[in-house]
Amino acid sequence: MKKLGVEMSSFTMFTIENELKIGTFHLINYNQVSVSYELKNDQVSFTCKYDRGKEKKMFEKWLAQEKQIYTDFILLYHREIQKISDCLTFEGTILEERMIDYTDSKKYIFCIQYKQLVNEVKIIFEPSRDLVSFLYQILLPINSKGFLLMPESLETHLTKETLQRMWEPFRKKTKYRLDLLHMLR
């Protein structure tokens, strides 16, 4: 008998409220059926994104056979993000820092390896637009071919205070500190 596992061609997770996360994924073994989910209070519910004949039947077949495997995956993915949020202090090393100078703005990119995290975090600041992005690859295999290649945008999941804790140890260490004084204060 074939061992069942998570087989997705895409996966997203977004924070709507403190206790509510939503997202979508596409099922490789079920003709790329698009599934939406909602995670609230450690409970996951699924809906078929397109409520048409063939897609609906494939979704129902998947739900009957593999719902728990995907529920476990989503809960584990959420817990990996929560572990970052639970860190009180961050330490690490700046692996790379660079600035891209556009005609009307500048973008600052930092790759930081934190002692508390397995993979590096890419932090991107765009001061002229008051934007900051924290990108992190969560190491959970999503299919038999390996990991999803898109990193998670942590700023959509973590509080501003957590993001500040992540940046603070490096604020004074960067050669661009004066340009980024007002960022994440």
Q: What is the pLDDT of residue 49?
A: 78
d(CA 130, CA 157): 18
Is beta strand 92-101 parallel, antiparallel or unpaired with respect to 43-48? Answer: unpaired
Nearest CA to 56 out of 47, 68, 66 is that of: 47
Q: What is the pLDDT of residue 1?
A: 39
* Cβ–Cβ under 8 Å, residues 180 and 167: no
* Cβ–Cβ under 8 Å, residues 169 and 90: yes
Q: What is the pLDDT of residue 184?
A: 85
Q: What is the pLDDT of residue 6?
A: 87
Q: What is the pLDDT of residue 10?
A: 83
Helix %, strand %, coil % of the chain (to 5): 30, 35, 35
Q: Which residue has the tokens 């100078």?
A: 101
Q: What is the pLDDT of residue 9?
A: 83
What is the secondary structure of 71-117 as a DSSP string?
HHHHHHHHHHHHHHHH-S---EEEEEEEEEE-SS-EEEEEEEEETT-
pTM across the whole model: 0.84
17-35 burial, b if ≥16 CB within 10 A, otherwise e? eeeebebbbbbbbbeebbb
DSSP label at residue 30: G
d(CA 142, CA 11): 9
Mean pLDDT in runs of 10 for the chain (185 residues)?
Answer: 71 86 92 94 91 86 93 92 93 96 93 94 94 89 66 88 95 92 85
* Cβ–Cβ under 8 Å, residues 183 and 106: no
Q: Which two tokens stand for residue 5?
A: 């596992």
